[in-house]
Amino acid sequence: MSDISRRSLLSSVAVAPLLADQAARPAAPAADTVPQRRLLASRFTAATLQSSLLDASRWQPFATAGDRAAWGALRPEYRDEAVKRADSQLGKAYEPLPATLFLEYKRNGNRTHFQDAQFGRRTRLRHAVLAECFTGKGRYLEDIANGVWAICEETFWGVPAHMGAQKRGVGLPDVTEPIIELFSAETGALLAWTRYLLGKQLDSIHPLVRERLELETERRLLSVYRNRQDFGWMGLNNDKPVNNWNPWINSNILTCALLMENDPARRAQTVHKILTSLDRFLDSYHPDGGCDEGPGYWGRAGASLFECLDLLHSASAGKVNYFDLPLVRAIGAFIYKVHIAGDWFVNFADAPAKVNPDGTLLYRYGKATGDADLQSFGALRFQHGGPGLESLGRALPSLFQEKEIRQAPARDALVRDSWLEGIQVATARRKAGATEGFYFATLGGHNAESHNHNDVGNFVVYLDGNPVLIDIGVEEYTAKTFSGQRYDIWTMQSAYHNLPTIHGVMQAAGRQYAARDAAFHTDDASAEFTADLAAAYPKTAGVEQWRRAIRLDRAANSVLVTDRYALNAAGKLEMSFMTPCVAKQDGERGLLLTGGMLGKTSVRLAVESAAAPTVKIEEIPLTDPRLKSSWGTRLCRVLLTWDAAPAKGEWKFAITQA
C-alpha cells in the first residue's frame, strides 16, 4: 500500500476531527487563589530547550525490544511473570466497550464496570508488550497489533466520570472535540512506549498499525495540548490551585512529545508549555512539600512531578535539571514523613490508610535529589513490593535498575516528628527509627482541600505500628463522590471522624471552615499539636472556641487529647471515635479496645469530664472493596454523648496501653 493510500485509510477511520477554533474559554471565578511561581519555565525558553533536548531519534532512555542482550540480562522471574500474564489472554478477542456500558455512569452512577473493561484492554496490551520484549520471537506481535488497533478505534480514550457537563449536557464527551483527562493521557503514554519499544516489529505486521497509533496520539492528545489552555488541570488561564491531575497528565503528554514528536521546534514548544503548567502545580505547595491529597495520591502527585523532571533530565543528557530545587526535594520527602509503619500511612481525606508506594520511584527520586533517607526508603519498599509494573513508563526503570536498587542500602525512614506547617499536618512517634509505642498524626487545615473530607482537627493513633483510632478513608468512587451530594456520603462527614458534633451540627465544607492558630511543639519528652477548631463549624453550631490539644508523652507512652470549649449556650455534645478494634465499655468513663490489628495488645481510653457520657458502640459492616482493603469486614464507631453539657467546659481522653 502506498503512503498516500495509507494516509487516506487513516483519515477515514479517524473519528472526531479537532475543531478549528480552539480559543480559550473564560475561567470560572477562583474559589481559592495561590501566588504564581516560575521555578521551572523561567530557566529555559522554547529555543533553549530545543538546543538542550536530544532529537527523538537519538534519545534512547531504555533498551528497545531489538536489544536482546539487555532484555536477556533481566531477572528470569520477571520474564516468566510477563509471559504468564500475556499467555492467559493470547489469541482472545479484546473485550468490547459497548455504548450501554459507557452510559452506566450517567444512568446509575457506576463508574467501575466501564473502567474495568477499558483498563483491562490496556493492562492486556502492556503485558503483551513486556512479554514480546522479554522473548523477542514475534509470538505476541499480532496480539499487540490488535490491542493497538482496538484502542485506536475507541470513540474516547478517557472515562465518562471525568467528563463533567459537556455541551451535550449529559456528562458525556462531545466526540467532535477531543479532551485530555487522566486516562486519555495514560493511554497515549502506553502507545508511545509501545511504539518506542516495538515500532520496527509492528511494521512487520503492517506499517499501518504504527501509523494509526501515531495519528491517534497526535490527533487526540498532542495537537489538543498545543492548541488549548482552558483545561482546569493545566492551571494556565486562572489562578485556582490544581491537584495531582496536573503532573499526572503532564507526565504522560511529555512522554508522548519526547518519544513521538519529530519536529524539534514544536517538541520544544510543547515541553515549555508543560513546564509552565507544572509551575502552576508547584504554586499550590508550601516550602515544606506537604501534599494535601495524602500519601495515596502522592504516587500521582509528587511522584509524577518527579517523572516529568526525570524524563527531561534524561532527554537532555542532564542539561535540563531541576533536582537542585529545595521544593522538589521537599515534595519527595513528604512520603516518608507520613509513613507510620509497614504499609500504613497517614491517610487524611480520600487517601487509603494502606499504601504500597513504588519503591523504584522513591529510590530514583531520592537519588536524584540527594535525599539519602528517601533513597534508602525506596530500596526497602522495592524489596518489600518488587518492581512497579502499573504502566510501561514505570515498569521500564523498575526492570532495568532492579540490580542497582537491590544492592543499595535499605532502611525504613521512621522520623520521630514532622510538622508540615503549610497543610497543618503533624506526626509524632515515641522514638525515631522504631515503631514501638504510640504514634499520632493530626491535621488542622481547611475543608476545601483537594479530595476533602470535613475533618479539620481529626487525628489518628497507632500502637506498635497498628491502628487504634483511624481515619476510615473513602469508598469506591461513584458519580455522587464528586457531585453536590459529596457530603451526604457518611465517610466524608465529621461525625465519622474522631471529632465532636456540637449542638447536633457537624463541620461544613468550604475554604472558610478552617483551623485557627495551629501549632506544633516537640522535644525529647513530648510532642503536642494545638489548634482552635471553632471556625470549622457553621454558625448554627454556636461554638465560640474549641481548643484541641493532642499530646504524646514519650516516657509514659500515652496520648492525651484535651478539648477546651466555649459555646453560646449549653446543650448536646457528642464525640465520635472510629476504630477497627472491638470496643467495649470499661466502667462509667472508660473504653477498652481489643482485637483488630492489635493482636494480644489492648488499649484503654479513659474519659475525664464533669459528667459521665452516655456510651453507644455501633458496629459498621464493610462491603465496599476499597474500605475492606484497609480495614477488613467491619469497623466500630464509639459515640460519647453529653445531653446537657455546660456552655464552657473541658474534656480529656487519655489513651494508654492496657
Can you give the residue ranges of every domain in the chain? 1-16+37-263, 285-413, 417-657
pTM: predicted TM-score of the whole model, two decimal places: 0.92
Supply the pLDDT for residue 176.
64
Taking the C-alpha atoms of residue 349 and residue 474, their distance in angstroms, rounded to an integer, is: 8
Strand order across the 582-585 sheet:
516-522, 526-532, 543-553, 558-567, 648-657, 603-608, 590-594, 582-585
CB 181 within 8 A of CB 158: yes
Rounded Cα distance between 239 and 241, Å, is: 6
Ranges of the chain with pLDDT below 70: 1-34, 164-176
- Sign (positive or negative) of CA dihedral 368, 371, 374, 375: positive
pLDDT at residue number 240: 85
Q: Tell me what pLDDT residue 604 has.
A: 98
| C-alpha–C-alpha distance, residues 275 and 277, integer Å | 5
β-partners of residue 578 are 637
Instruction: For the domain covering 417-657, report its CATH number.
Output: 2.70.98.70
Q: Which residues are within 8 A (CB) of 538 and not within 5 positions of it... i.e. 6 or more apart?
A: 505, 508, 513
Report helix, strand or coil for 458.
coil
Q: Give me the helices (H) in 241-342, please.
A: 245-260, 264-283, 295-298, 302-315, 326-337
> Could you tell me the end-to-end alpha-carbon distance of the chain, in angstroms, rounded to an integer?
79
The pLDDT score that the predictor gives to residue 170 is 42
From the number of C-beta atoms within 10 Å of its C-beta (0-12, 13-18, 19+), residue 545 rates as: middle
DSSP conformational letter for 54: P
- pLDDT at site 432: 97
